[in-house]
Structure 1
Amino acid sequence: MDDLDLFSLRDLFNRNRILLCFNGPISRSLIEEIGHALKNYLQAQNATPSAAMDVFGVYIEMTQNIRHYAAHRQYGEEDSAATIIVARQPDGAYLVQAGNLVEADDGPLLMARIKALSGMDKAELKSAYKEQLRKPRDTALSSGAGLGLLDIARKACQPLSASVGPASGGKVFFSLRAVI
Structure 2
Amino acid sequence: MAAAFWLTGLVTTASAQDLPTPQGEVILTIDGAIAHTNVDGTAQFDRKMLEGLGVVDVTTGTPWFDGKMTFSGAPLAAVLERVGAQGDMIKAVALNDYETDIPVSDAKDTGVILAMKVNGRDMTVRDKGPIFVIYPFDREDRLETQTYYSRSAWQVTRLSIR
Bigger Cα Rg: 1
Q: TM-score, normalised by structure 2?
A: 0.28
Q: Structure 1 length normalisation: TM-score?
A: 0.26
